[in-house]
Amino acid sequence: MLQQLLSGKKKLKEFRGVRKETLIGDIAEEISLKNRTNKNTVVLSCTKYDGLVPSLEYFGRKIFADDLSTYKIVPRKHFAYATNHIEEGSIGYQDKYDKGLISPMYTVFKTNELLINNLFLFRLLKTHRYILEYRRRMEGSIDRRGGLRWDKFSKIKILLPSLPEQTAIATILSTSENEIQIHRRHLVALQQQKKGLMQILLTGKVRVKT
């Protein structure tokens, strides 16, 4: 469903408009704000599947420097991607904190919300189609170690439906993800229940009547 809705292969009945091709640079701009005061703010890491997450929670230990003055600030409703590793899908959307910090090796950008729904764009840029596009552009780069910098990233073309359709698609996908989380929690509860049942049955604490 995610692939079909984001690619336009599946249309929502209430929307009939044609998708327009645009460059990322036409709806977004790079932002570079340094944490020059070395303020101790939550440090984020970018994951392949979940986007931006607190580094300490994800790794279970501190892997970032004590001096955070060179780290970049990622304000709320901004994006960040790993400049040298975006081909792995390391791109995230920051919507949990007023401000977060990210390694200086990342690129940060913000969008024009009059033109784009950020949750729609985040899911679009995480799809396999665009991961392949990142890889293609990086492999074609003369300096492979330079990764995919903003001047190249901003020239990637995306197909956008109208803003109302973007919002509708983002809402459908968010609802589906919430349902998946509910089922996952239910599964964990059932697994714990099974584990406890096995303990009392296999140890003989409870006998099965035959």
At residue 147 the predicted structure's pLDDT band, cuts being 50, 70 and 90, is confident
Q: Which residues make Cβ contacts (< 8 Å) with residue 190, sequence separation at least 6? A: none
DSSP H helices, the chain, are 2-7, 24-27, 55-59, 118-125, 128-139, 150-153, 163-202
CATH of domain 21-160: 3.90.220.20
Residue 144 pLDDT > 60, yes or no? no
Please report where in the chains the tokens 């940060």 appear, as a residue: 108
Name the phi and psi angles at 36, rounded to 5: -65, -25
Cα–Cα separations (whole angstroms), residue 148 to 9, 19, 45, 50, 115: 28, 26, 18, 20, 24
Q: For 180-199, what is the mean pLDDT?
A: 86
Residue-level pLDDT at 154: 96
Q: For 164-169, what is the mean pLDDT?
A: 90
Where along the chain do its domains lie?
1-19+162-205, 21-160
Predicted TM-score (pTM) of the model is 0.79
Three-state DSSP class for residue 37: coil
Chain mean pLDDT for the chain = 87
Evaluate whether 97 touches 37 at the Cβ level (below 8 Å). Answer: no
At residue 141 the predicted structure's pLDDT band, cuts being 50, 70 and 90, is low
Per DSSP, the chain holds a count of helices (H) and strands (E) of 7, 10
Q: Which residues make Cβ contacts (< 8 Å) with residue 47, sequence separation at least 6? A: 53, 58, 90, 92
Strand pairing class (78-82; 72-75): unpaired
What would the pLDDT profile of 85-131 be if each residue is shown by its tens digit? 888 888 999 999 999 999 999 999 999 999 999 999 999 999 989 99
Q: For 157-179, what is the mean pLDDT?
A: 86
What would the pLDDT profile of 197-210 be if each residue is shown by its tens digit? 888 888 888 888 87
Strand pairing class (28-31; 106-111): antiparallel
CA distance 54 to 63: 11
Residue 39 pLDDT > 90, yes or no? no
